[in-house]
Amino acid sequence: MTAVLPAPAAAVVVPTAERKRRRRMAVLYAGLVAGLVAATLVAGGSGQLTIPLDEILGSIAHRVGLDVGPLPSHPRGEFTLWNVRFSRIAMAVVVGASLAVAGAAMQGVFGNPLAEPSVVGVSSGAAVAAGAAIVFGLRFAGDWSIPVCAFLGGLVTTLLVYALSRSDGRTEVVTLVLTGIAVNAVAGALLALLMFLGDTQARESIVFWQLGSLNGSRWTYVGVVAPLAVVGVVIALASARSLDLLALGERSARHLGVNVEALRILLIVVVALLTAAAVSFCGIVAFVGLVVPHLVRMVTGPGHRTLLVASALAGALVLVCADTVARTAVAYTDLPLGMLTSLVGGPFFFWLLRRTRRTAGGWA
């Protein structure tokens, strides 16, 4: 397409392509935000107690001080909307964005599209630590005890996997994935041991963890998780350009001024932070971190700045939709969210794999 242009036009062609790309990104961002707003309104209205759209909008308007539109007509409408549904939706947004950004950052750090927090054991490590906190009744930090344990568990497990898969200053991706499998197996055993040791209530809590659910998300939980997520996303975004350079390989990234080891360790901590923040109250929600960045990359291209922002929005959208399905698909039942994302995400990932093989010769 550019071949027919005379050579001096090259300098002009680049900015035009750049403008086109920017427009596409703007459309994508607008679409994702609109989708998220629509999904939030639909999710807010659906459930055992159906609240019509105009009542939701009216309720929101009243909350921000505008005296327009009708309030929910059902006596428990207002309470359900704000204290059950919106808190849950907010949690879905935070968790979805965190997991997708963690996945995208992880893939960038290891230069491999197969890297995902759960592949290298962050989720299971966080689950073991949180399980231990539940079983042994650790309350050293009040409301923050479980997230703190989950965070430390996730961080220690990731660093362990990273250290084990590293030799001679290089990280072999295959070794990394295999180490992750080994560490996941041990974590699974430890979790089983904790369930064996715990009482019925603790056991139930752990099962809830592994299935993953946003049931019972309260605003206080959102208040605990959201700051961690915000810090993680901001650091990941600040590292976006370095992640782009890292795609050239460790040596070339270093030649361009990136301190590769420091960047890796920083981002692994960020991934642990985001994942632990996400799973601390909701359990293991698989495949969001793996599939969402892939899908987004197909549209945005590999540049990490747009990839991370769009992944955060797309992850939030996916999780709000998934959670709405989880709690409305079967009446009076809350399906486990993690089960749902895996059920859909697994085959979807397989499709992505086949598609990439066809179009780009596969992932080496």
We find the least distance from the C-beta atom of residue 98 to another protein, in angstroms, to be: 22
Nearest residue to 165 (alpha-carbon basis) of 150, 182, 153, 190: 182
Q: Which of 7, 64, 68, 331 binds another protein (CB under 8 A)?
A: 7
Judged by beta carbon, residue 5 or residue 27, the one nearer another protein is 5
Structure tokens at 212: 């993953």
CB 313 within 8 A of CB 32: yes
Classified as helix, coil or strand, 331 is coil
Query: At CA 318, angle to CA 122 and CA 52, rounded to 5?
Result: 135
Q: CB of residue 307 vs another protein: minimum separation in angstroms?
A: 9
d(CA 213, CA 322): 11
Q: Contacting another protein (CB under 8 A), which of 73, 227, 252, 330?
A: 252
**Residue 2: phi, psi to the nearest 5?**
-85, -10
Considering only residues 293 through 322, tell me which ones interact with another protein, judged by CB under 8 A: 297, 301-303
Give the nearest distance from C-beta 294 to another protein in angstroms.
Answer: 11
> For residues 16-45, which are near another protein according to CB under 8 A?
17
Residue pair 153/127 in contact (Cβ under 8 Å)? The answer is yes
Could you give the CA distance from residue 96 to residue 316 in angstroms, rounded to a whole number?
Answer: 4
| Burial of residue 114, with CB atoms counted within 10 A of its CB: 0-12 exposed, 13-18 middle, 19 or more buried | middle
Nearer to another protein, 23 or 255 (CB): 255
SS3 166: strand
Q: How many CB atoms lie within 10 A of CB 132?
A: 19
Q: According to the binding rule CB under 8 A, does residue 13 interact with another protein?
A: yes
Assign 170 to helix, strand or coil.
strand
Name which position in 93, 195, 245, 272 contacts another protein (CB under 8 A): 245
Per CB under 8 A, which region of 6-14, 174-182, 212-220, 272-280 contacts another protein? 6-14
Cβ closest to another protein, residue 103 vs residue 154: 103
Identified binder of another protein from the candidate list 24, 74, 218, 254, rule CB under 8 A? 254
Sole window of 231-239, 250-258, 274-282, 311-319 interacting with another protein (rule: CB under 8 A): 250-258
Is residue 64 a contact residue for another protein (CB under 8 A)?
no
CB-wise, 28 or 190, nearer to another protein?
28
Does residue 113 interact with another protein by CB under 8 A? Answer: yes
Out of 247, 350, 351, 362, the residue judged to bind another protein by CB under 8 A: 247
Measured between alpha carbons, how far is 236 from 307 in angstroms, rounded to an integer? 11
Determine if 114 is a binding residue for another protein (CB under 8 A). no
Alpha-carbon span 179 to 336, nearest angstrom: 28
Nearer to another protein, 113 or 315 (CB): 113
Q: Of 249, 324, 252, whose CA–CA distance to 92 is shortest? A: 324
Under rule CB under 8 A, residue 358 binds another protein: no
Tokens 């089960």 belong to residue: 339
Point out which span in 63-71, 217-225, 245-253, 267-275 binds another protein (CB under 8 A): 245-253
Residues 153-182 that bind another protein (CB under 8 A): none
**Quick one: 74 or 305, whose CB is closer to another protein?**
305
- Structure token pair of residue 274: 């985001």
Residue 237 binds to another protein (criterion: CB under 8 A): no
* Side chain identity, residue 107: Q
Please state, as a whole number, how many other Cβ atoms lie within 10 Å of the Cβ of residue 24: 14
- Per CB under 8 A, the segment of 50-58, 104-112, 124-132, 326-334 that binds another protein is 104-112
* Secondary structure class of 87 (helix, strand, coil): helix
Residues that bind another protein (CB under 8 A): 1-3, 7, 10-11, 13-15, 17, 108, 111-113, 241, 244-249, 251-252, 254-259, 297, 301-303, 360
